[in-house]
Structure 1
């Protein structure tokens, strides 16, 4: 029977003519030597059905003699043998998880029909993956390697593998456990998200599997004292009792404690139930939101919904940090890509929480915080769009009403209050909360707000011009001075780029002496590079008189910590309150998440294109 890799080789060669071993190996993911060995095996197995011929300086070519039996042989390929490097890495990890013994590299190579050098390369990636779970492969000369680490970390690894591969549903106990968990949580009115529910089912599947292998979990005695008086421990005992009844598997108290930890870390909190929020959590959130407001010039402290949401979020988060529980975020990559600025702010929030709890927050946890931050920012974007406008018209009352109707119909999303008057009535207006005056006639008297002259008929060009004024387009453009836009820069390191942009910015703005030091302090706390070839370096706190952005489009991508970067936006926020900062953030974020716009900026790296792009963005 053909192996999966042999099948891949045949599919690749079918109808292609001659191909060299190196080319086949790059596609299949093995060495040229392995390809040659595989071809010998294929020719032996497919005798009188097909044959792979070789030709000097040309390579290998597939000749099919019996099409019907050839297709039949392909369909009989071994389904479970991995063929790609990724599949082999997963296979090797599962092997070490299930085999509690020393395993040699040669043994794995024989299992997978691979060379030892190929398996050695795979093992390097296996070790990297294991490090993320605080696990390692311990080597003993002449014996091989064995997987070592705490039981809870071994279970986390196995649970993540099952979840990502969606293999837990194949376990014969999966549906029984899911039904038990559903019944128990409903009977106690215990609220849990569907994702967390499925995650807990997988955890229980793994728990039962490990108990069958004689592997149980242990905890310090003080953990039991903390847990035994909580509702979650009672629920865990009920779950264990029903599992014992249905599956004849007894879960010891330590396993009940572990289940209760997961329940504490996954419980949904809301402001409708009688949830007791520790005072120190409320004070901590207030303190951190005050720091964020000062750092990013966005007043998060006035958003009481955000404060409540974060305080409630801290309750299960504190248990996850205390008991070292992983909480996967299925939306993490989407959050990073779609809400980059919220994710940056969430990193700052996570840094404060890490200090408070003395535990580092994972990117998954930061992603959850970013969702709360983004919701608050979105509400602010809605608020900043509303403008108070005076509409001056010299015609009669009926035509003035018609013009007012046009404005409300076309610009209703931006208008909070629209006041109509004539030139004479303008003298008696209170301009305290007025943002603009739009007028169909000249105004000769001095007024304290911008005046925009417009026609009585709002055609397409006139509509666009008014939208740009109402939507603060011009104010955003001032944050991006033309003298601080640089294209096709031949710089090769992160430090070179930052130093260059700072030096150029210092010719237009007064920068503090430690400006560069403040940028590197922020980079040390967390990297400002994203997955879309963009970096957003900035000082860890507002430190300049004006807010500005310096932009660099590089000739070639550079390595920015662990990511590849070609566009750099160096941002500095004003120490003083800036009325238009939300618009600045909003438009910049829209650029950062739009891959098409970034690709166009790389192809057309001009200042005019950037400003035109910003002007076209609507919040």
Structure 2
């Protein structure tokens, strides 16, 4: 075959997608008719180990019959598929750099096409806090590790959904949702994780499954492309316990990955896999001792202070919920380990939690930030972690405070009298929630927000439009009757409003 026909074969071999006759003609500076003749001639002469597949309206692709390397599941049929694959590659090698030339060779398209791909990718990743940098020594994506894993996870989730996997709870963005995820490495890593779970009778829950998936893909791409992370990534936080089950799982997973890709993992990469699996063990209800007496005292104190701060910030008496204290302590036990070892788990339900439980989510986030500000805890909690903690507080809220009527108690300056009144109200009216107790001298307009009733021992100043009941500090029978009537009217309106 002549040189042009060999170039056609090379283009189809490297492109790994359907290429139209017009595109081939443009690249080779000939007419489409010439391409048609060449393809026909190539089809007659080509080895039995290969064949050219034609697809109407898509063009031609080269199929490796012998090894099946170029089956339909590994071909880019659309430009968007290549761009999504490129985005996943760039995410996987972050923070390492690569050159436009190498990317051009990887996808066998012109450098100008790659630059156009970059513009498309840049417009899609801004919302995730990631940006593309093109410098003299190479091109890379920049953003914190969690932001990178978030985007990687939604691409992986989309792939899992397309391949028939049952769990796909992540909110997949529109620019990913409608595009086929073409990447043969995803099926290989999925197979590795499946084998590990079968061999060791594990059921990795979704956050750890996705985090481990992202880590394995990142390690593989860096090693196979001979890319070296920054020296800061070499940090070792604790030695592995070579007698533990987690160690055996880690080494087996490492061995499988190295054999699959003919690579050698670095020490820091093996340790990182170990940390992820150990964090999973600490988080797993079936593996952790439910007795909080064995939990580190600092973690217990952190749980108590978070609950106390949330109580102060909201008026909801979370401090009275012993179940919340125990559940949150166990959760923070594994969370502290994760944050101390730079293990950032993905929260597939983050958007749903932040939207559906927005008040509690904001409360937890504000309370966590205050702990850092007051130097009670030295690490900022990620939104992923805030989302998980929110669920514990939301359960407590739903069980103890939901459908209760939030009130404010207003008094003169006698704080003892107001707390005595608060105790009597709580005892007499379990469906009332005392959110705030404020002296009239210090009350602000903002104190009246998020409450339905003011109970006051002193005549209000007239700065509010909330219902107000004037009572005696000892809460006599007439006072109780007025409060009881308000409660009945309040719930009656709640039943009528949805139908009005």
Select which of 137, 143, 146 maps to 2:139: 146
DSSP-derived class of the 1:173 partner: helix
DSSP-derived class of the 1:147 partner: strand
Q: Which has the higher contact order (CA 8 A, sep 6+)?
A: 2
Q: Structure 2 vs 1, CA of residues 550 and 95 (structure 1 numbering), >3 Å: closer, same or farther?
A: farther
Aligned-residue offset at 1:373: 0.9
Q: Check if 1:616 corresponds to 2:488.
A: no
Aligned-residue offset at 1:289: 1.0
Q: How does 1:88-167 map to 2 (within 5 A)?
A: 88=83, 91=86, 94=89, 101-103=98-100, 111=110, 121-122=119-120, 124-125=122-123, 128=126, 131-132=129-130, 137-140=133-136, 145-147=138-140, 156=149, 159-160=152-153, 162-166=155-159, 167=181
Aligned to 1:207: 219
Aligned-residue offset at 1:295: 1.7
DSSP-derived class of the 1:349 partner: helix
1:165-186: CA deviation from partner (whole Å, max 9, x where unpaired): 4257764523431233203542
Aligned to 2:239: 225
Q: How does 1:356-505 map to 2 (within 5 A)?
A: 356-381=376-401
Aligned-residue offset at 1:212: 2.3
Instruction: Give the Cα–Cα distance (whole angstroms) in 1 for the partners of residues 289 and 315 of structure 2.
Output: 34
Instruction: Give the Cα–Cα distance (whole angstroms) in 1 for the partners of residues 145 and 318 of structure 2.
Output: 38
Aligned-residue offset at 1:139: 1.7
Aligned to 2:197: 182
Contact 2:368 2:381 in 1 (8 A): yes
State the Cα RMSD in Å.
5.6
Instruction: Give the Cα–Cα distance (whole angstroms) in 2 for the partners of residues 350 and 537 of structure 1.
Output: 21
Aligned to 1:349: 367
Q: Check if 1:335 corresponds to 2:353.
A: yes
1:397-444: CA deviation from partner (whole Å, max 9, x where unpaired): xxxxxxxxxxxxxxxxxxxxxxxxxxxxxxxxxx99665xxxxxxxxx
Select which of 228, 252, 263 maps to 1:238: 252
Aligned-residue offset at 1:232: 3.3
Aligned-residue offset at 1:616: 3.2
Instruction: Give the Cα–Cα distance (whole angstroms) in 1 for the partners of residues 269 and 247 of structure 2.
Output: 10
DSSP-derived class of the 1:289 partner: helix
DSSP-derived class of the 2:133 partner: strand
1:567-599: CA deviation from partner (whole Å, max 9, x where unpaired): xxxxxxxxx9xxxxxxxxxxxxxxxxxxxxxxx
Aligned to 2:301: 283
Could you state the TM-score of these two structures normalised by the residue count of structure 2? 0.53
Moved more, 75-84 or 349-358: 75-84
Q: How does 1:1-80 map to 2 (within 5 A)?
A: 73-74=56-57, 76=59, 80=76
Select which of 268, 271, 274 maps to 1:257: 271
Aligned-residue offset at 1:115: 11
Contact 2:295 2:333 in 1 (8 A): yes
Aligned-residue offset at 1:245: 6.2
1:378-401: CA deviation from partner (whole Å, max 9, x where unpaired): 11146959xxxxxxxxxxxxxxxx
Aligned to 1:297: 315
Instruction: Give the Cα–Cα distance (whole angstroms) in 2 for the partners of residues 89 and 251 of structure 1.
Output: 26
Contact 1:97 1:158 in 2 (8 A): no
Contact 2:208 2:280 in 1 (8 A): yes
Instruction: Give the Cα–Cα distance (whole angstroms) in 2 for the partners of residues 226 and 82 of structure 1.
Output: 45
Q: Structure 2 vs 1, CA of residues 202 and 371 (structure 1 numbering), >3 Å: closer, same or farther?
A: same
Name stretches of at least 5 consecutive residues in structure 2 with no aligned partner.
Answer: 1-25, 34-54, 62-74, 160-180, 406-424, 452-457, 466-472, 474-491
Instruction: Give the Cα–Cα distance (whole angstroms) in 2 for the partners of residues 331 and 384 of structure 1.
Output: 27
Contact 1:93 1:126 in 2 (8 A): no
Q: Structure 2 vs 1, CA of residues 80 and 279 (structure 1 numbering), >3 Å: closer, same or farther?
A: same
Q: How does 1:433-582 map to 2 (within 5 A)?
A: none
Name stretches of at least 5 consecutive residues in structure 1 with no aligned partner.
Answer: 1-39, 47-71, 386-430, 436-469, 480-508, 520-535, 539-544, 552-575, 577-610
Instruction: Give the Cα–Cα distance (whole angstroms) in 2 for the partners of residues 347 and 550 of structure 1.
Output: 29
Instruction: Give the Cα–Cα distance (whole angstroms) in 2 for the partners of residues 240 and 432 of structure 1.
Output: 58
Instruction: Give the Cα–Cα distance (whole angstroms) in 1 for the partners of residues 332 and 256 of structure 2.
Output: 31
Instruction: Give the Cα–Cα distance (whole angstroms) in 1 for the partners of residues 145 and 384 of structure 2.
Output: 19
Aligned residues: 352
1:225-282: CA deviation from partner (whole Å, max 9, x where unpaired): 3776865344312332455567665434332201011113333243984363101111
Contact 1:343 1:366 in 2 (8 A): yes
Q: Structure 2 vs 1, CA of residues 312 and 184 (structure 1 numbering), >3 Å: closer, same or farther?
A: farther
Aligned-residue offset at 1:293: 1.2
Q: Structure 2 vs 1, CA of residues 175 and 160 (structure 1 numbering), >3 Å: closer, same or farther?
A: closer
Q: Structure 2 vs 1, CA of residues 149 and 122 (structure 1 numbering), >3 Å: closer, same or farther?
A: closer
Instruction: Give the Cα–Cα distance (whole angstroms) in 1 for the partners of residues 86 and 326 of structure 2.
Output: 45
Contact 1:89 1:126 in 2 (8 A): no
